[in-house]
Structure 1
Amino acid sequence: MNPTAVPDLSSDAWLLALGTMLALALVGRLWHRWQQDRADKQALSCRSLPFDSTLARWPGVPEADTDMQRLVGEVQDRLGMQLLAARTLARTGDDLPGPARLMHLDQQLAQALLSLRLMREAVRAEPAALGDGLHGLQAHFQPMLAERGIRLSWQVDEAAATLHLPARSRLHLMRLVQEALDNVVRHAEGAHAAGFELRLLEERSQRSLCLRISDDGRGKPEGRRAEATARGIALMERIASDLGAPLAIGPARPGWVVDLTLKL
């Protein structure tokens, strides 16, 4: 074997190896974080707690706050599904051309990293300003939409960007934004432009956070995509209900819009 030979990086074997290495690196990072969190919890806890397999327990989230524990558990479940999908694709994606398989694997791992970011945001002792958390979502979705020929306009006014929400409301809002933008990525057929707007309005003694996510694609996808979109809409409606915030989703000129108003 020639020691100076350059490996054929376009071969399926190399693509599978690269994808597996990326997935293992991410799993290793999560395993390290889990071990660290477990050690911190054991050091801080003065009593033992019964194991509850249906409830994710994270340091930084009070055990009495069952709603936050449930929310973090849902994000954790989503992360697990994304890692499983990436692993399945790496092992069984032989029907896809090498570059296409690598692109799909990269997207799955990017989604998993986004879920990990949401979990980290949820358990921070001192949550950052809202704009800092949203910046991570912008950095994730803007290039992803650009790859599909969709230009994302991102507008957050200074008052909204510097706002500090309670951890529960913050996680709810971040998950809704993630789901809405993910729907644009997956289902905005024929779209060329999308918009994200977040404003803090003050009227008399009432402050409201106004969110709008829109695109100019066809509003109602057909066939199997409609079912996936319906699931996304149902999740956003449940999040809005938990927030106690009015939500409007549906076709609107020139395409599709998601509107949420959260009273503070």
Structure 2
Amino acid sequence: MTPAALTIVVLALGLAAASLVHALRLRAQLAAERRSAAVRGAEREALAREQAAASERERIHADLHDDLGARLLGLIHDAQTPQQADRARALLQDLRDVVTRSRGTPGTLADVLADIRNEATQRLAAVDIVLDWHSSEALPDPPLDHARALHLHRIVREAISNVIRHAQARHVRVRVDERAALLRLELTDDGSGAGVNAPAAGSGLRGMRERAAELAGGIDWTAGTAGGTKVLLTMPLAPVPGA
């Protein structure tokens, strides 16, 4: 083979090798693009399914609220006593909790306390009980997840229920502050002091204790300094792992 022919062969082999490398790279690029497209397609399908499920949950919750909510409002309107009306109001708030929990985040501690205060004010005013609520200006305002917000809300709701149904009180005082990284919520009424001893309050008190434990906190009932009952709830401001 002449040097010229050898040169041509070498060049041809080089071109063939370069073409092969280019083809392999192109094949790998196409395969990667197909995999990426498949992943994007799967993500779009998963997102579409999630959005469809969320829409269906929203529809079910809306139907539930409209149907049961209307019935509970009817019970409130037709109640023979303020206590019966309050039971229906509490159930209506429980129903709204279920609906609200499916939407977004509950917000910060201040947001949750504002909702609790507004609900308590309405329920107590409906039975001619005056609410005096004060939150410390120095109270931290951390975000609350759904579970912690729900437990806090339900504990105060049950405490208000006990006042309305058993205490024969005219005034309720709530003080909210922070000590040693603990939220302290103190609720005192000027009633008979019979609320925590009423037979019907038993399961409610157990539920309050269980919810306080879920918050890694505690709850105590003592006699108020001027009569009535004092409820003290404490809970860590920051979530406790495992709680």
Q: TM-score, normalised by structure 1?
A: 0.55
* Count of aligned residue pairs for this structure pair: 184
Aligned 1:1-264 pairs, distance under 5 A? 43-45=48-50, 101=80, 107=86, 109-160=88-139, 162-189=141-168, 191-201=169-179, 203=180, 207-221=181-195, 226-253=198-225, 254-263=227-236, 264=238
For 2:119 and 2:203, how far apart are their aligned partners in 1? 22
Paired residues of 1:121 and 1:133 also in contact (CA < 8 A):
no
Q: Deviations over 1:150-169 (max 9, x none)?
A: 21111123454733123221
Task: Name the counterpart of 2:14.
Answer: none
For 1:247 and 1:261, how far apart are their aligned partners in 2? 6
Match for 1:44: what amino acid? R
**Deviation of the 1:231 alpha carbon:** 1.9
Paired residues of 2:189 and 2:229 also in contact (CA < 8 A):
yes
Q: Deviations over 1:144-195 (max 9, x none)?
A: 3234332111112345473312322121111111111111111112x22111
Unaligned runs of 5+ in 2: 1-45, 59-63, 239-243
For 1:186 and 1:158, how far apart are their aligned partners in 2? 32
Match for 2:191: what amino acid? G
Paired residues of 1:154 and 1:195 also in contact (CA < 8 A):
yes
**Based on CA coordinates, which of the two structures has the bigger radius of gyration?**
2
Task: Name the counterpart of 1:13.
Answer: none
Q: Deviations over 1:200-234 (max 9, x none)?
A: 23x4xxx1111111101111259xx8121122211
Match for 1:258: what amino acid? V
Paired residues of 2:105 and 2:145 also in contact (CA < 8 A):
no
For 1:134 and 1:259, how far apart are their aligned partners in 2? 15
Paired residues of 1:83 and 1:112 also in contact (CA < 8 A):
no
Name whichever structure is richer in helix by fraction. Answer: 2
Name the CA shift for 1:255/1:105 in 2 (closer, same or farther; >3 Å): closer
Name the CA shift for 1:235/1:125 in 2 (closer, same or farther; >3 Å): same
Paired residues of 1:83 and 1:108 also in contact (CA < 8 A):
no
Worse-matched range after superposition: 234-243 or 151-160: 151-160
Root-mean-square deviation (Å): 4.0
Paired residues of 2:170 and 2:190 also in contact (CA < 8 A):
yes
Match for 2:229: what amino acid? W
**Deviation of the 1:112 alpha carbon:** 3.7
**Deviation of the 1:261 alpha carbon:** 1.2
Task: Name the counterpart of 1:14.
Answer: none
**Deviation of the 1:236 alpha carbon:** 0.6
SS state at 2:212 partner: helix
For 1:88 and 1:217, how far apart are their aligned partners in 2? 27
SS state at 2:217 partner: coil
Q: Deviations over 1:56-88 (max 9, x none)?
A: xx78xxxxxxxxxxxxxxxx9xx97x8877777
